[in-house]
Amino acid sequence: MKTSFTLLTAFLSFAFLTSNLTEAHANPPRSTFNPEVVESTIRELYVIAADQRRLVDEGRTAELTADDLAIICDGLGEQVAAQSANSFNDITMHLLADWRQHSEHRQVIEAILLATKNHAAQELREQRERPRPFDPGLSASERAGIIGMEALDQALGAFTLVYTFEFGRGLWRTRGAGLSRLDAFKNSLRTASEAALRRRGVIASTATIATVARVAQLQLETRKLDPIEELRETRQNRVRDLGSRIVAQRERLRSGRASREEIQTIGRELQGFLPEIRALLRSAPELTRSLEPVAEDLSEALHELETRGYHSDEAEAEHFIP
């Protein structure tokens, strides 16, 4: 296997140098890598981690041990934690978008996000103790910061769901410039701000929407998102997506309108959900209750497939729900 280890070697060296320094966690070092290098290293790690899995699957010796990969992920998490809030949030959302779009990267992504949370824990804790900004021009009972955070949460969730993107591709050409400077994201944030205001019974004037959107944008530029809280929400959104897709395909089968070719396509898609559900259960057992009805729907859909001549090689979905 021929793989460049230049950036990973740098991160590995950095991680080894800091892992034995107890003061490193109390006083995180200033980032020695800019967002572009962090991004490039993550992309390289995706490829190398996949190569290591392939070698193990083939019964060969991996070039990096699990401990090596853990140290690299920890070093990456430390570097992400040392970024400014704008870059920190940009990288975090890149990772979550990749988590949504590329299931094969999830183990690496989750390790980086957990390490990031651990290294940024003190700063995140201090953030929670500080009041969020709000605009005094709104009614006294409505804080734009609170509404803005609602809008921000909705916009972030929508962005990871609707757009197919990853580091260095598609809309993501900012390379550390930050989500708040991306026109598509700002438009999404304004829409979410209007919806959040209406839910709270506030008159959604153009000026008020702009105020809330700007406050939410300032939050993104000055306050770091909690990587693990965002990951939990992303996982929950994915479970809901799986449930909706499975039900839609089951009803399509029950309607009797699916052609033979379409049945084969549906079958491959439904079977493809089985390993993902298993992986979600392993990495996030707290999702078990949410996944139970999804697995039941999947079992019913697979049964519908079998009645139409499609034979499933996988176990029934309920067999791997604890």
* Mean pLDDT of all residues in 309-316: 64
Give the 3-state secondary structure of residue 309: coil
User: Dihedral (C-alpha) 136, 138, 142, 143: value to the nearest 10 degrees?
Assistant: -40
pLDDT-derived band at 38 (thresholds 50, 70, 90) equals confident
How far apart are the C-alpha atoms of 302 and 264, rounded to whole Å? 12
Average pLDDT, the chain: 79
State how far the alpha carbon of 207 is from the alpha carbons of 31, 138, 196, 228, in Å.
38, 10, 14, 34
Most confident of 14-23, 50-59, 123-132, 200-209: 50-59
pLDDT digit string, tens, across residues 253-285: 999 888 989 999 999 999 999 999 999 999 899
pLDDT at 160: 67
Residue 207 reports pLDDT greater than 50? yes
Most confident of 57-71, 86-100, 228-242: 228-242
Which DSSP string do the residues of 26-81 spell out, in sequence order? HSPPPPSS-HHHHHHHHHHHHHHHHHHHHHHHTTPPPSS-HHHHHHHHHHHHHHHH
pLDDT-derived band at 3 (thresholds 50, 70, 90) equals very low
Task: Give the pTM.
Answer: 0.80
Residue 67 reports pLDDT greater than 50? yes
Task: Give the residue, 113 or 216, on which the prediction is more confident.
Answer: 113
pLDDT-derived band at 23 (thresholds 50, 70, 90) equals very low
pLDDT digit string, tens, across residues 113-154: 999 999 999 999 998 887 666 655 555 445 666 777 778 877
pLDDT digit string, tens, across residues 237-252: 899 999 999 999 999 9
Pair 193, 127: CB distance under 8 Å:
no
pLDDT-derived band at 9 (thresholds 50, 70, 90) equals low
pLDDT at 229: 94
pLDDT at 2: 43
CB atoms within 10 A of CB 290: 16
Give the 3-state secondary structure of residue 168: coil
State how far the alpha carbon of 6 is from the alpha carbons of 9, 14, 44, 175, in Å.
5, 12, 10, 20
How far apart are the C-alpha atoms of 209 and 200, rounded to whole Å? 13
Q: Give residues with Cβ within 8 angstroms of 322, minimum separation 6.
A: 281, 285, 288
Per-residue DSSP letter, 102: -
pLDDT at 227: 96
pLDDT-derived band at 190 (thresholds 50, 70, 90) equals confident
Most confident of 128-132, 171-175, 192-196, 297-301: 297-301
Residue 60 reports pLDDT greater than 60? yes
